[in-house]
Amino acid sequence: MPGDGIGPEVADAGVAVMQRIADSFGHRFRFSNQLIGGAAIDTRGDPLPPDTIASCRESDAVLLGAVGGPKWSDPNAQIRPEQGLLKIRAELGVFANLRPVRVIDELAAASPLKAELLKNVDLMVVRELTGGIYFGEKKRTPDFASDLCVYQTFEVERIVRVAARLAVARSGKLCSVDKANVLETSRLWRDVTIRTMANEFPNVALEHMLVDAAAMHLLARPRDFDVIVTENMFGDILTDEASMLAGSLGMLPSASLGDSKRGLYEPIHGSAPDIAGRGIANPCGTIASTALLLRHSLGLEEEAALIEKALLDVIAAGARTADIARGNDTVLTTSEMTNAILAQLE
């Protein structure tokens, strides 16, 4: 699903990398292009047409570019591109959004933070994706508005289990972020997290942190975090903040997973309409998302690792798109960066 803005440009880069992997390893990937977001509204009057949903359900994995743009940006409109994004997450039951944030040494200068704060930063944010305020009942009158934030025990249990398993495979540390000093949903979140971890993951070190403190510490001491688990809106905000550690939104991938192997994979950036069509978007987040796709949905670990290594190698060799370039760096276009990664894969 290429979507809107720079979505088609970066999605093409992801498909090109997957095709190169297929050619090298003797795989055969079958792709089906489908509409979502503004592009779907313009042609079908629906941000997520039924045939898009059907194709996603029939597929082993879903790769998404981005949705939205100024053409459809009226927040009072009855039909908006973002509705398609929320709906496909719910339709596929992908409740766990994994957003790895790893600072590449060569890109430390692209971050607004001091380089000494960024050394060895390698964290994973696990965001609950199908509950909370984004999905709660919404009401609006001329002088009143409300958005209901709802969580149930089973929703917290299942996302905490995903995060805890990741923590076990990493450093054995899990930080749960909430706002339990104010919100009832957060108090439920904290109680369920404590109980689940004590019963099922007693050897994982559990820390609780209020979301405002987490936002501060992500910038002041990012190296102290390993796996973070949090609810939908908090995760949305914190991961955009954490992207600045890596230097650019354009660098970071994501995987949205549920109870089956099928997942939804996308870069964490938006549709960037200001640069759409100019050929300067950073494809690295999408290409890294294809590595997550191969790993989590198709079980192709070696191929996934090769994509990630190729991406790191070209960055180490000096390849830069405009968003991560500094000083006298040579700036590559979207296609040039993609071709550099394809050549490194060879």
Catalytic option among 12, 46, 147, 240:
240
Interacting residues of 26 by C-beta distance below 8 A, sequence separation 6+: none
Alpha carbons 97 and 93: distance in angstroms, whole number: 11
- 212 an active-site residue? yes
Of 4, 151, 178, 179, which is the active-site residue?
179
| Residue among 177, 187, 295 at smallest CA distance from 241 | 177
Long-range own/partner contacts, residues 341-345 (CB < 8 A, 24 or more apart): 341/17, 341/283, 341/284, 341/287, 341/307, 341/310, 341/311, 341/314, 342/16, 342/17, 342/20, 344/310, 344/311, 344/313, 344/314, 345/17, 345/20, 345/21, 345/24, 345/306, 345/307, 345/310
**Is 236 part of the annotated catalytic residue set?**
yes
User: Could you say which of 23, 42, 212, 274 is catalytic?
Assistant: 212
Q: Is position 74 annotated as part of the catalytic site?
A: no
Considering the candidates 134, 151, 226, 265, report the single residue annotated as catalytic: 134
* Other beta carbons within 10 Å of 247: 26
Residue 134 bears catalytic tag: yes
Active site residues: 134, 179, 212, 236, 240
